[in-house]
Amino acid sequence: MGIRPELHPKVQNNNKVYLPPACFSMDKEEKDIFCRVLKKVKVPHGYASNISRCIDLKPPKLSGLKSHDSHILMQQLLPLALRNVLPKQVRYPVMKLCRYYRQLCSKVLNPNDLVQMESDIGKILCDLERIFPPSFFDIMVHLSVHLASEAKLGGPVHYRWMYPIERLLSTLKSYVRNRSKPEGSIAEGYLAEECLSFCSLYLSSDVETIHNKTSRNYDDGGYEDVLPIFSMSGRPIGASNVELLDLDTLAVAHSYVLFNCSEVDEFRTEHLAIVRHENRKRKLRERDIQRLHCETFESWFQDHVAELHSSGDHRITEDLRILASGPAEFVTRYKGFIINGFRFHTKDLEKNRKTQNSGVMLEAMTNSFSSARDNNPIVGDVTYYGILNEIIELEYDADKKVVLFHCDWISNGSRKKEDDNGFTLLNFEGLKSHNEPFILASQAQQVFYVADLVDKGWKVVIKTTPRDSYDMKEQICLDDVETHLQSDTSMGPQLDENMNIELVRQGLNGTLVDNNSLVFDGDEDLFESPS
Q: Angle at the Cα of 299 (from 294 to 302), degrees rounded to 5?
A: 120
Is the distance from CB of 321 to CB of 332 less than 8 angstroms? Answer: no
**What is residue 44's predicted lDDT score, i.e. its pLDDT?**
93
Instruction: Tell me: do 455 and 499 sit in the same domain.
Output: no
Average pLDDT score, the chain: 86
pLDDT band (50, 70, 90) for residue 406: very high
Instruction: Tell me: do 271 and 137 sit in the same domain.
Output: no
Q: Is residue 73 part of a domain?
A: yes
* Cβ neighbours for 370, distance < 8 A, ≥ 6 positions apart: 378
Query: Residue 134 gets which letter from DSSP?
Result: G
- Domain count for the chain: 2
**What is residue 426's predicted lDDT score, i.e. its pLDDT?**
93
The CB-side HSE value for 51 (13 A sphere, CA atoms) comes to 28
Phi-psi region of 401 (alpha: psi -120 to 50; beta: other; left: phi over 0): beta
- Using DSSP bridges, classify how beta strands 438-440 and 424-427 pair: parallel, antiparallel or unpaired: unpaired
pLDDT band (50, 70, 90) for residue 475: very low
Query: Which tens digits make up the pLDDT trace of 273-318?
Result: 999 988 888 878 888 888 899 999 999 999 999 999 999 888 899 9
- Res 342 pLDDT > 90: yes
**Amino acid present at 242:** V
pLDDT band (50, 70, 90) for residue 172: very high
**What is residue 480's predicted lDDT score, i.e. its pLDDT?**
46
Sheet arrangement for strand 16-19: 10-11, 16-19, 511-514
**What is residue 386's predicted lDDT score, i.e. its pLDDT?**
94
| CA–CA distance, 350 with 453 (Å, rounded to integer) | 20
Q: Is residue 209 part of a domain?
A: no
**What is residue 474's predicted lDDT score, i.e. its pLDDT?**
46
Give start and end residues of each alpha helix (H) in 311-404. 318-325
Is the distance from CB of 290 to CB of 380 less than 8 angstroms? Answer: no
* Cβ neighbours for 219, distance < 8 A, ≥ 6 positions apart: 233, 234, 235, 338, 339, 340, 341
Q: Is residue 481 part of a domain?
A: no
DSSP string covering 165-233: HHHHHHHHHHT---TT-HHHHHHHHHHHHHHHHHHHTTS-TTS--TTTPPPTT------SSS-GGG---
Instruction: Tell me: do 65 and 126 sit in the same domain.
Output: yes
**What is residue 476's predicted lDDT score, i.e. its pLDDT?**
46
Query: Which tens digits make up the pLDDT trace of 90-119?
Result: 999 999 999 999 999 988 899 999 999 999
What percent of the chain lies above the pLDDT cut of 70? Answer: 88
* CA dihedral of 435, 440, 445, 446, whole degrees rounded to 10: 70
Q: Is residue 217 part of a domain?
A: no
- Res 121 pLDDT > 60: yes
- Res 471 pLDDT > 90: no
Higher-scoring residue by pLDDT: 135, 372: 135
pLDDT band (50, 70, 90) for residue 511: confident
Instruction: Tell me: do 381 and 501 sit in the same domain.
Output: no
Q: Is residue 174 part of a domain?
A: no
Q: How far apart are the first and last CA of the chain?
A: 22
**How would you write 504-524 as a 3-class SS string?**
ECCCCCCEEEEHHHCCCCCCH
Spatial CA neighbour of 46 closest among 387, 485, 453: 485
Q: Which of 368-377, 393-402, 457-466 has the lowest mean pLDDT?
A: 368-377
Instruction: Tell me: do 55 and 136 sit in the same domain.
Output: yes
Spatial CA neighbour of 440 closest among 303, 304, 321, 344: 344
Instruction: Tell me: do 255 and 367 sit in the same domain.
Output: yes
Q: Is residue 317 part of a domain?
A: yes
- Res 518 pLDDT > 70: no
Beta bridge partners of 511: 19
Tell me what the mean pLDDT of segment 227-241 comes to: 88
Tell me what the mean pLDDT of segment 457-469 comes to: 86
Instruction: Tell me: do 436 and 517 sit in the same domain.
Output: no
Tell me what the mean pLDDT of segment 454-479 comes to: 72
Q: Angle at the Cα of 152 (from 149 to 153), degrees rounded to 5?
A: 95
The CB-side HSE value for 232 (13 A sphere, CA atoms) comes to 16
Q: Angle at the Cα of 122 (from 119 to 125), degrees rounded to 5?
A: 150
Burial (CB count within 10 angstroms: exposed 0-12, middle 13-18, buried 19+), residue 479? exposed
pLDDT band (50, 70, 90) for residue 478: very low
Q: Is residue 173 part of a domain?
A: no
Question: Which of the residue ranges 11-20, 126-135, 213-222 has the most confident prediction, judged by mean pLDDT?
Answer: 126-135
**What is residue 205's predicted lDDT score, i.e. its pLDDT?**
82
Q: Which of residues 449, 466, 483 is at a domain's end? A: 466
Query: Residue 484 gets which letter from DSSP?
Result: S
Phi, psi of 367 (to 5 degrees): -80, 120
pLDDT band (50, 70, 90) for residue 228: confident
Spatial CA neighbour of 197 closest among 179, 212, 180, 209: 209
The CB-side HSE value for 393 (13 A sphere, CA atoms) comes to 23
Higher-scoring residue by pLDDT: 471, 334: 334
Instruction: Tell me: do 501 and 454 sit in the same domain.
Output: no
Q: Angle at the Cα of 337 (from 443 to 252), degrees rounded to 5?
A: 55
| CA–CA distance, 86 with 173 (Å, rounded to integer) | 43
Burial (CB count within 10 angstroms: exposed 0-12, middle 13-18, buried 19+), residue 446? buried
Tell me what the mean pLDDT of segment 456-461 comes to: 92
Tell me what the mean pLDDT of segment 171-199 comes to: 95
**What is residue 357's predicted lDDT score, i.e. its pLDDT?**
95
Instruction: Tell me: do 252 and 370 sit in the same domain.
Output: yes
Higher-scoring residue by pLDDT: 524, 86: 86
Instruction: Tell me: do 390 and 497 sit in the same domain.
Output: no
- Range of the structural domain that residue 404 is part of: 228-466
Q: Is residue 289 part of a domain?
A: yes
Instruction: Tell me: do 261 and 370 sit in the same domain.
Output: yes
**What is residue 508's predicted lDDT score, i.e. its pLDDT?**
86
- Res 428 pLDDT > 80: yes
Phi, psi of 475 (to 5 degrees): -115, 130
**What is residue 529's predicted lDDT score, i.e. its pLDDT?**
55
Instruction: Tell me: do 505 and 446 sit in the same domain.
Output: no
